[in-house]
């Protein structure tokens, strides 16, 4: 698989800066904000990774200042890039990773380890043993889920989860969490001040609470952004809720439009050229002039990215969202000031737009992973459509 990255690159986490500018301590805008999808070097540093076989990057995770990529190819290899330079982590046998701004968490068949990235220590800051799964009926749990609970982003690392939730996957935001159960039900908890829990209000929840609006519609994938959540149903529809101040929900955002008005007329002209796809969800009543703006969407809304298109996967950054369709297209929307939308500009948008780069290059997008201010996409061979 080939991976491309775009967006925030102040620490060289997408691609290393031009050596000259690095020495002078200067960041030019084009180094820091990568507007065009750029292919990630596969053999970034042969001496670092030391293996010729470092070709199959199977997983990428990104924090604000770093990127980690996991190669699983017989043995496995975890490489870090970004703040602190490029390095290889001692990690043979690693099957899964999670990256926060302060810690790198690795899963092995028999243990979980969390390494403190701010200290250069020889041992993990925290670790726990796990029993290899006795029943091989279901797929292995992916981080941050571990048997019996999950690994949080800050201490205490291990938090237990009630077994009746039947947790299948879990995504953690800074202050909220979303859980997908084996039955396809969705639970959320944490802070709710921006509607990110999807229960219809702004109150917080200490314990996992079912998102009732989705009851009866099994979901297959759940993700979180900074202040929003998204999930994909078994029927490949995309649901989204939370804060929309940068258009990250794909719904009309007043603060976004106001911000655009204050900028130069050149900018405004560019906006007018963007495709105006009507987001679905609650039908906007009245004429076009009387547009309804949404700053907080406290219940899940169905988002129609493009007509009759199935959504294969979705990922959220801090204030932007990226989705891959079953036909291999990538759509992005939300905050774009660091180039994280990949539309070759630095404009935020509240309307999902296709990233033309991949179409132009005839590349078939199969996966997307967002860091807080950047986006990574995997392209592959065109695959048989999932039924």
- The binding site for another protein (CB under 8 A) comprises 10-11, 25-29, 32, 64-66, 83-84, 101-102, 118, 174-175, 191, 193, 226-227, 261, 318-319, 337, 372-373
Q: 128 or 202, CB closer to another protein?
A: 202
Nearest approach, Cβ of 387 to another protein (angstroms)?
Answer: 40
* Rounded Cα–Cα distance for residues 9 and 23 (Å): 16
Nearest approach, Cβ of 246 to another protein (angstroms)?
Answer: 11
Is the Cβ–Cβ distance between 376 and 37 less than 8 Å?
Answer: no
Is the Cβ–Cβ distance between 86 and 14 less than 8 Å?
Answer: no
Q: 25 or 283, CB closer to another protein?
A: 25
Q: 342 or 372, CB closer to another protein?
A: 372
Is the Cβ–Cβ distance between 327 and 336 less than 8 Å?
Answer: no
* Rounded Cα–Cα distance for residues 246 and 298 (Å): 16
Nearest approach, Cβ of 104 to another protein (angstroms)?
Answer: 13
Q: 24 or 360, CB closer to another protein?
A: 24
Report how far apart the first and last C-alpha atoms of the chain are (Å, whole number): 22
Which residues, listed in sequence order, are joined to residue 180 by a DSSP beta bridge? 169, 186
Q: 95 or 267, CB closer to another protein?
A: 267
Nearest approach, Cβ of 259 to another protein (angstroms)?
Answer: 13
Nearest approach, Cβ of 192 to another protein (angstroms)?
Answer: 11
- Buried b or exposed e, range 199-213, using 16+ CB within 10 angstroms: beeeeebeebebbeb
| CA Rg value for the chain | 21
User: In this structure, what token pair is assigned to residue 221?
Assistant: 């994938």
* Rounded Cα–Cα distance for residues 291 and 1 (Å): 42
Q: 241 or 357, CB closer to another protein?
A: 241
Nearest approach, Cβ of 68 to another protein (angstroms)?
Answer: 14
């Amino acid at each position: 698989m080939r991976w491309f990255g775009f967006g925030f690159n102040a620490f060289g986490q997408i691609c290393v800066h031009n050596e000259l500018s690095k020495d002078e301590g200067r960041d030019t805008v084009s180094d820091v904000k990568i507007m065009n999808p750029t292919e990630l070097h596969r053999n970034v540093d042969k001496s670092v990774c030391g293996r010729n076989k470092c070709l199959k990057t199977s997983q990428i995770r990104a924090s604000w200042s770093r990127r980690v990529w996991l190669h699983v190819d017989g043995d496995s290899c975890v490489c870090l890039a970004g703040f602190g330079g490029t390095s290889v982590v001692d990690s043979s046998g690693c099957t899964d990773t999670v990256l926060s701004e302060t810690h790198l968490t690795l899963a092995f068949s028999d243990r979980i380890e969390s390494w403190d990235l701010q200290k250069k220590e020889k041992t993990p800051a925290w670790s726990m043993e796990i029993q290899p799964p006795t029943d091989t009926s279901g797929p292995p749990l992916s981080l941050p889920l571990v048997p019996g609970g999950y690994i949080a982003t800050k201490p205490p690392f291990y938090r237990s989860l009630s077994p009746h939730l039947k947790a299948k996957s879990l995504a953690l935001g800074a202050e909220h969490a979303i859980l997908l159960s084996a039955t396809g039900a969705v639970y959320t908890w944490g802070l709710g001040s921006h509607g990110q829990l999807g229960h219809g209000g702004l109150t917080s929840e200490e314990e996992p609470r079912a998102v009732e609006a989705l009851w009866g519609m099994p979901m297959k994938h759940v993700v979180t952004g900074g202040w929003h959540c998204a999930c994909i149903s078994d029927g490949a529809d995309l649901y989204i809720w939370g804060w929309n101040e940068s258009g990250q929900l794909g719904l009309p955002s007043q603060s976004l439009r106001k911000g655009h008005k204050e900028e130069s007329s050149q900018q405004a002209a560019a906006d007018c050229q963007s495709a105006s796809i009507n987001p679905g969800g609650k039908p906007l009543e009245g004429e076009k002039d009387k547009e309804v703006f949404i700053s907080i969407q406290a219940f899940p809304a169905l988002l129609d990215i493009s007509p009759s298109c199935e959504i294969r996967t979705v990922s959220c950054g801090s204030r932007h969202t990226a989705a891959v369709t079953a036909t291999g297209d990538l759509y992005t929307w939300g905050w774009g000031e660091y180039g994280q939308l990949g539309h070759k500009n630095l404009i935020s948008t509240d309307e999902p737009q296709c990233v033309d780069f991949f179409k132009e290059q005839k590349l078939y997008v199969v996966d997307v992973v967002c860091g807080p201010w950047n986006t990574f996409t995997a392209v592959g061979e065109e695959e048989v459509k999932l039924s």
